[in-house]
């Protein structure tokens, strides 16, 4: 289908006046994607977040990002924010898989004002059959022409010259599809037998940080998945991020936004040195973590046995306690602001 059907008064519709020009661009790009790929209005989650770019690069090397502000507060605009606007306005609808996870979006009332996959395939098939019938008729006409020419050159003696009567061949004519009104409708059309696809990265982050509850939270959560997916994140790497976060920022709450802001830092972090808390033997832990730990244990043994015989092995085995403290000590950074 080479064209998208858009009413020339679309910008006057209340919903489209509400969402503004950024949402217009994503909405129109979504229509073009669906017509081009015959998806009947369905846009996969990953594709929806890459339909439009919100970054502009100039010839002199400057790169500009489109921003959104409210008073003195502002931040960069992104696909997740614009998609949330389209959903809130009723122009797009979320497609879930039954477990609270978004697999994509459906354009509201798409089949009422755009051709469906079945209609386009039927039209193409009719044109193909009409072309075949026309080709057959042309071949028969070409076969009759030489016979007519021969009769004109060698007419039969005593008989009037005659020409054969061509046999008419019916050619089916495809009735043009009735033009449908093109404007934005407000009536939702349910889509049965919707096929949903799994997103292991979404599930891994939801297991680590908790599932989003509202539409806005799911949209923001989706932006995190999109960014770490672009960075090459794998589902099996997500639990390792959690371990790194709790070691590095023990006082900070772990949310999905932490993955968005610190995924690269997690990948480039040096290997964690041993910590005193890793020791399982209580005697060794007391020696390493407490400067007077060895003296306290010796005093306890003397009080219990009344002799130094059982104390001397401690000096031989743990005489390097100071070295152990130096090897096991490592600073823990404070939580990010």
Q: Indicate whether 209 and 297 sit together in one domain.
A: no
Q: Is residue 230 part of a domain?
A: yes
Residue 146, in any domain of the structure:
no
3-class SS of residue 213: coil
- Same domain for 235 and 286, yes or no, is no
**Sequence-distant contacts of 288-291: CB under 8 A, at least 24 apart:** 288/321, 288/324, 288/325, 288/328, 291/325
Asked, for residue 107, whether it belongs to a domain, the answer is yes
- How many independent structural domains does the chain possess? 3
SS3 42: strand
CB-neighbour burial class of residue 14 (10 A; exposed 0-12, middle 13-18, buried 19+): exposed
> Does any domain span residue 25?
yes
Looking at 96, 113, 130, the residue that finishes a domain is 113
The pLDDT of 209-223, averaged and rounded, is 91
Tens of pLDDT, residue by residue over 287-327, are: 666 666 667 777 777 777 665 554 455 444 444 445 545 55
Domain that holds residue 96: 10-113
Give the tens place of pLDDT for each residue, 153-202: 665 544 555 555 565 665 655 555 544 444 444 434 445 554 445 789 99
Same domain for 16 and 76? yes
Q: Is 72 within the bounds of a domain? A: yes
Residue 230 sits in the same domain as residue 323? no
Residue 175 falls inside a structural domain: no
**Quick check: is 69 in a domain?**
yes
107: confidence class by pLDDT, cuts 50, 70, 90: very high
d(CA 88, CA 80): 12
Q: What is the dihedral of CA 280, 284, 285, 288, to 10 degrees?
A: -140
How high is the mean pLDDT of the chain? 77
Q: Is residue 57 classed as helix, strand or coil in its secondary structure? A: strand
User: Does residue 280 share a domain with residue 259?
Assistant: no
Residue 90: Cβ-neighbour burial (10 angstroms; 0-12, 13-18, 19+): middle
**Residue range 78-86: average pLDDT?**
92
214/309 same-domain check: no
């Amino acid at each position: 289908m080479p064209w998208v059907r858009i009413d020339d008064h679309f910008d006057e519709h209340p919903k489209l006046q509400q969402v503004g020009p950024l949402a217009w661009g994503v909405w129109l790009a979504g229509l073009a994607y669906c017509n081009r790929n015959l998806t009947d209005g369905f846009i996969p989650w990953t594709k929806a977040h890459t339909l439009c770019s919100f970054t502009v690069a100039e010839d002199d090397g400057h790169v500009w990002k489109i921003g959104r502000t409210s008073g003195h507060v502002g931040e960069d605009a992104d696909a997740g924010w614009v998609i949330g606007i389209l959903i809130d306005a009723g122009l797009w609808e979320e497609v879930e898989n039954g477990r609270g996870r978004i697999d994509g979006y459906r354009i509201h009332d798409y089949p009422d004002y755009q051709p469906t996959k079945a209609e386009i395939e039927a039209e193409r098939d009719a044109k193909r059959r009409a072309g075949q019938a026309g080709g057959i008729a042309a071949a028969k006409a070409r076969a009759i022409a030489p016979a007519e020419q021969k009769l004109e050159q060698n007419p039969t003696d005593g008989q009037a010259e005659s020409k054969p009567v061509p046999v008419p061949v019916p050619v089916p004519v495809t009735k043009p599809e009735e033009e449908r009104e093109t404007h934005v409708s407000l009536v939702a059309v349910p889509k049965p037998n919707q096929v949903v696809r799994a997103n292991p990265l979404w599930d891994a982050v939801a297991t680590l940080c908790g599932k989003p509850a509202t539409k806005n939270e799911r949209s923001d959560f989706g932006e995190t998945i999109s960014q770490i997916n672009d960075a090459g994140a794998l589902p099996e790497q997500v639990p390792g991020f959690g371990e790194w976060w709790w070691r590095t920022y023990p006082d900070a709450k772990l949310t999905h936004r932490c993955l968005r802001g610190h995924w690269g830092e997690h990948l480039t972090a040096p290997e964690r040195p041993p910590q005193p808390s890793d020791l399982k033997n209580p005697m060794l832990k007391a020696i390493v973590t407490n400067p007077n730990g060895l003296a306290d244990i010796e005093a306890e043994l003397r009080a219990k046995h009344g002799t130094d015989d059982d104390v001397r092995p401690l000096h031989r085995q743990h005489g390097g306690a100071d070295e152990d403290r130096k090897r096991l000590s490592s600073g823990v950074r404070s939580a990010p602001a």
